[in-house]
Structure 1
Amino acid sequence: MAFFMVFLVIFLLLLCISSALLRWNEVRYRKKGLPPGTMGWPVFGETTEFLKQGPNFMKNQRARYGSVFKSHILGCPTIVSMDPDLNRYILMNEAKGLVPGYPQSMLDILGKCNIAAVHGSTHKYMRGALLSLISPTMIREQLLPTIDEFMRIHLSDWDNKIIDIQLKTKEMALLSSLKQIAGSDSSTISQAFMPEFFKLVLGTLSLPIDVPGTNYSRGIQARKNIVSMLRQLIEERRASKETHQDMLGCLMKSEESRYKLTDEEIIDQIITILYSGYETVSTTSMMAVKYLHDHPRVLQELRKEHLAIKEKKRPEDPINLTDLKSMCFTRAVIFETSRLATIVNGVLRKTTEEMELNGFVIPKGWRIYVYTREINYDPFLYLEPLSFNPWRWLDKSRLESQNYLFIFGGGTRQCPGKELGIAEISTFLHYFVTRYRWEEVGGDALMKFPRVEAPNGLHIRVSSY
Structure 2
Amino acid sequence: MAVFMMVLGLFFLVICSCTALLRWNEVRYRKKGLPRGTMGWPIFGETTEFLRQGPNFMKNRRGRYGSFFKSHILGCPTIVSMDPELNRYILMNEAKGLVPGYPQSMLDILGKCNIAAVHGSTHKHMRGALLALISPTMIRDQLLPKIDDFMRTHLNSWDNRVIDIHQKTKEMALLSSLKQIAGLESSSMAQQFMPEFFKLVLGTLSLPINLPGTNYRRGLQARKNLVGMLRQLIQERRASKESHHDMLGGLIKIDDNKYKLTDDEIIDQIITIMYSGYETVSTTSMMAIKYLHDHPKVLEELRKEHLEIRGRKRLEDPIEWNDLKSLRFTRAVIVEASRLATIVNGVLRKTTEDMELNGFVIPKGWRIYVYTREINYDPFLYPDPLVFNPWRWLDKSLESQSYFFIFGGGTRMCPGKELGIAEISTFLHYFVTRYRWEEVGGDKLMRFPRVEAPNGLHVRVSSC
Moved more, 250-259 or 27-36: 250-259
Matched, 1:53 2:53: yes
Alignment match, 1:419: 418
Deviation at residue 59 of structure 1 after TM alignment: 0.2
Structure-1 separation of matches of 2:263 and 2:385 = 46
Cα shift readout 1:93-133 (whole Å, capped 9, x = no counterpart): 01101110000000000000000000000000000000000
Alignment match, 2:463: 464
Task: State how 1:237-252 maps to structure 2 within 5 Å.
Answer: 237-252=237-252
Structure-1 separation of matches of 2:99 and 2:281 = 26
Structure-1 separation of matches of 2:167 and 2:76 = 33
Alignment match, 2:98: 98
Moved more, 373-382 or 237-246: 237-246
Structure-2 separation of matches of 1:170 and 1:6 = 53
Matching residue's letter, 1:118 = V
Alignment match, 2:236: 236
Cα shift readout 1:61-91 (whole Å, capped 9, x = no counterpart): 0000000000000001000000000000000
Alignment match, 1:438: 437
Structure-2 separation of matches of 1:245 and 1:384 = 46
Deviation at residue 256 of structure 1 after TM alignment: 2.5
Alignment match, 1:190: 190
Structure-1 separation of matches of 2:254 and 2:268 = 16
Alignment match, 1:360: 360
Matching residue's letter, 1:416 = P
Alignment match, 2:2: 2
Task: State how 1:295-444 maps to structure 2 within 5 Å.
Answer: 295-397=295-397, 399-444=398-443
3-state SS in 2 of match to 1:186: helix
Structure-1 separation of matches of 2:296 and 2:338 = 19
Alignment match, 1:65: 65
Structure-2 separation of matches of 1:310 and 1:5 = 79
Matched, 1:137 2:131: no
Matching residue's letter, 1:411 = G
Could you list the runs of 4 or more consecutive aligned residues of structure 1 that deviate by over 2 angstroms after TM superposition? none
3-state SS in 2 of match to 1:254: coil
Matching residue's letter, 1:414 = M
TM-score scaled by length of structure 2 = 1.00
Moved more, 252-261 or 267-276: 252-261
Deviation at residue 255 of structure 1 after TM alignment: 3.2
Alignment match, 1:451: 450
Deviation at residue 4 of structure 1 after TM alignment: 1.3
Alignment match, 2:81: 81
Deviation at residue 236 of structure 1 after TM alignment: 1.1
Structure-1 separation of matches of 2:413 and 2:97 = 19
Cα shift readout 1:263-320 (whole Å, capped 9, x = no counterpart): 0001001001100100100000000000000000100000010001110111111111
Alignment match, 1:267: 267
The answer on whether the counterparts of 1:21 and 1:41 sit within 8 Å (CA) in structure 2 is: yes
Q: What residue ranges of structure 1 are gaps of 5+ in the alignment? A: none
Alignment match, 1:16: 16
Cα shift readout 1:336-371 (whole Å, capped 9, x = no counterpart): 000000000000000000101110110111000000
Alignment match, 2:226: 226
Alignment match, 1:287: 287
Structure-2 separation of matches of 1:260 and 1:382 = 43
Structure-1 separation of matches of 2:363 and 2:159 = 58
Matching residue's letter, 2:167 = L
TM-score scaled by length of structure 1 = 0.99
3-state SS in 1 of match to 2:144: helix
Structure-2 separation of matches of 1:262 and 1:97 = 27
3-state SS in 1 of match to 2:400: coil
3-state SS in 2 of match to 1:447: coil
Matched, 1:147 2:147: yes
Matching residue's letter, 2:408 = G
Matched, 1:173 2:173: yes
Cα shift readout 1:14-45 (whole Å, capped 9, x = no counterpart): 10000000000000000111110000000000
3-state SS in 2 of match to 1:116: coil
The answer on whether the counterparts of 1:254 and 1:261 sit within 8 Å (CA) in structure 2 is: no
Structure-1 separation of matches of 2:340 and 2:254 = 42
The answer on whether the counterparts of 1:347 and 1:370 sit within 8 Å (CA) in structure 2 is: yes
3-state SS in 1 of match to 2:147: helix
Q: What residue ranges of structure 2 are gaps of 5+ in the alignment? A: none
Structure-2 separation of matches of 1:102 and 1:285 = 25
Alignment match, 1:214: 214
Deviation at residue 254 of structure 1 after TM alignment: 2.4
Deviation at residue 442 of structure 1 after TM alignment: 1.3
Structure-2 separation of matches of 1:176 and 1:326 = 22
Alignment match, 1:204: 204
Structure-1 separation of matches of 2:295 and 2:126 = 41
Cα shift readout 1:385-408 (whole Å, capped 9, x = no counterpart): 0000000100011x1011111110
Structure-2 separation of matches of 1:390 and 1:223 = 38
Matching residue's letter, 1:418 = K
Structure-1 separation of matches of 2:122 and 2:240 = 31
Deviation at residue 237 of structure 1 after TM alignment: 1.2
Structure-1 separation of matches of 2:33 and 2:408 = 29
Alignment match, 1:113: 113
Moved more, 189-198 or 240-249: 240-249
Moved more, 234-243 or 175-184: 234-243
Structure-1 separation of matches of 2:145 and 2:13 = 67
Matching residue's letter, 1:191 = Q
Structure-2 separation of matches of 1:102 and 1:151 = 33
Structure-1 separation of matches of 2:216 and 2:405 = 28
Q: Tell me the matched-pair count.
A: 464
3-state SS in 2 of match to 1:385: coil
3-state SS in 1 of match to 2:419: helix
Moved more, 74-83 or 248-257: 248-257
3-state SS in 1 of match to 2:184: helix
